[in-house]
Chain A
Amino acid sequence: MGFTVKVEGPSTIELGTTSITGVKFRTDIPHDSNARSTDMGSTVTITGKILTAVDGDPFDSTRQLGLWALVPAEKSDCYRKVSIEVIAASQVVRKYTYPNAFVVDYKEDYGDVEGVGTFTLIIKQKKDKMAQVAVEGGYSV
């Protein structure tokens, strides 16, 4: 199962199947609601590897994710368009599109034992723009 993540803003960040290791989608609805709640949100957790460029390859764009996490709320580019594809057997199983995503957590982890670092990015869709989240899938690549 492969994942591709694309973040479109002032610059485009693209991460492919070699670096993304996991994606988790969840819909946040209050568990204690007695009837369908209007308080609905959506959170995505993306985990992956921070790869070192060898043989003169370009560097991966994980650093751009770190910079996005540090953009202050006063700037409009703290909201970016994120599309995530889950690909298996030449089929796009899911394609999630978050047109106004913002970062709620970003973490990078390095050790002296592993050859690569790892990152965890948690994003949310702006809550008043929940209707714009698109879930597609079930077609070939």
Chain B
Amino acid sequence: MGLRLKIEGSESISLPETSITSVVFGADIPHDSNARSTDLGSTVLIKGKILAAVDGEAADDTSKIAKWSLVPAENMDCYRRLQIDVVNASQIVRQISVPNAFVVDYQEDFTDETGAGVFSLLVKQKKDKMASLKFEGGFSGE
């Protein structure tokens, strides 16, 4: 299963299937609601590897994600457009577009045992803009 991440804002961040290891998409609705709640949100958790550049190729874009997580709320650049593609057998199983995503958590983990660091990025869609979130898929690609 190939997972691709694209983030567009003041700069473009793109991470291919070689670095993304897991994506969890969730709809956040209060579990204790008695009827359908208007309090609807959406969270996406992305995990991947921080790869070291070899043979003179450019470094991967993970450092740009780290910088995005540090953009203050006063700056309009803290909201960016995020797109995730789940590709399998030449089919786009899911294409999730989060047009006003902001970071709620970012973590990087390095140890002396592994050759690559790992990162985990937790983003949410701006809650008043939930209607513009796109949840597509089921078409052929590649």
Contact = CB atoms under 8 A, between A and B. Distances in A.
**Interface size for chain A: under 10, 10 to 19, 20 to 34, or 35 or more residues?**
35 or more
Contact of B22 (A53, A69, A104, A110): A110
Contacts of A66: 25, 27, 135
A108 B138 CA distance: 15
Interface of A is mostly: mixed
B31 A41 contact: no
A102 B22 CA distance: 28
Nearest to B44: A108
Given A74-B38, A78-B36, A112-B22, A105 B27 contact: yes
Contacts of B22: 109-112
A70 B40 contact: yes
Interface stretch (A3-11, A81-89, A122-130, A131-139): A122-130
A59 B138 contact: yes
B21 interface: yes
A104 B35 contact: no
Given A104-B30, A109-B22, 18 more contacts: A50-B93, A66-B27, A72-B130, A73-B35, A78-B36, A104-B31, A104-B37, A107-B24, A110-B24, A110-B94, A112-B17, A112-B22, A116-B88, A117-B93, A122-B31, A126-B35, A127-B35, A128-B35
25 contacts: A50-B94, A53-B138, A54-B89, A63-B94, A63-B137, A66-B27, A70-B40, A70-B42, A72-B131, A73-B40, A103-B27, A105-B27, A105-B28, A105-B29, A106-B26, A107-B27, A108-B23, A108-B94, A110-B3, A112-B17, A116-B1, A117-B93, A124-B33, A126-B36, A127-B34
Interface of A: 41, 50, 52-54, 59, 63, 66-67, 69-70, 72-74, 78-79, 102-117, 122, 124, 126-128
